[in-house]
Amino acid sequence: MALPGALRLWLACLLLCSAAPKPTCDPSACGPCPEGDPEGTASPAAGGCCPPCPPPCPCPPYLHDDCDMQGFSSVPAGRSFYIDFGRKLCTCGPGGDIACTPLCPSPGPACLALGSPRADGCPQCVCYDQEEMAVPAGTVTIRGSQSCSCPEQGGQLRCTSGSPR
C-alpha cells in the first residue's frame, strides 16, 4: 500500500513542478560586459540568463604599437581605434578578430599624380608646382602674375599669363 501512495505523490509533484511558471530572462538585468574579462557574463545576478561576454581581440604583431598607444593589451569586443594617422578605423569584432577599414576615398584609376595636400593625410589626385608643393586636382591657383589650374586627373600644372576672369 505504501508503494502506490508514494508513486502517486511523486507523480503529483512531477506534474506540479512542470506546471510551475518558468522564470523569464529580463535583458535589462544584464549589465555591460567588463573590459578585459572574456569569461565573465554580463550579470551573474540575473540568474545566468545573460549571454557570455564576447572575447577581446588580441593585437596582431602589425598592430602591436598602435594597441600600446591606445592602452590596450587586448582590445575589448566592440571597441574601435584609429591607426595610420586617423586614416583607418580598426574594430574588435565579436569573433575575436580585428578588422581595419580605410576612411579615405580611393583616388580614381585615371589619377596621374598622388599627393596629400590636405591635413587629413588622405591621398588624392594632385599637380606639383616648381617648389614641389601639391596642388589639389580641379583647383585654380594664382602664382605671381599667372593663373594655374590642375586638371581633374592631376599631373601637370597648367599656367597662363594674366589673372583668371
Q: How confident is residue 165, by pLDDT bands cut at 50, 70 and 90?
A: very low
Residue that wins the pLDDT comparison between 7 and 124? 124
Query: What does CATH list as the number for 114-161?
Result: 2.10.70
pLDDT in tens, 41-84: 454 444 567 878 888 999 989 888 988 888 888 898 889 999 88
**Grid coordinates standing for 106?**
580611393
| Domain range list for the chain | 49-103, 114-161
Biggest CA pair distance of the chain: 119
Residue that wins the pLDDT comparison between 14 and 28? 28
Sign of CA dihedral 142, 143, 145, 150: negative
What are φ and ψ of residue 158, in 5° steps? -110, 115
Map the chain to HEC letters. Answer: CHHHHHHHHHHHHHHHHHHCCCCCCCHHHCCCCCCCCCCCECCHHHCCCCCECCCCEECCHHHHHHHHHHCCCEECCCCEEEECCCCEEEEECCCCCEEEEECCCCCCCCCCCEECCCCCCCCEEEEECCCCCEEECCCEEEECCEEEECCCCCEECEEEECCCC
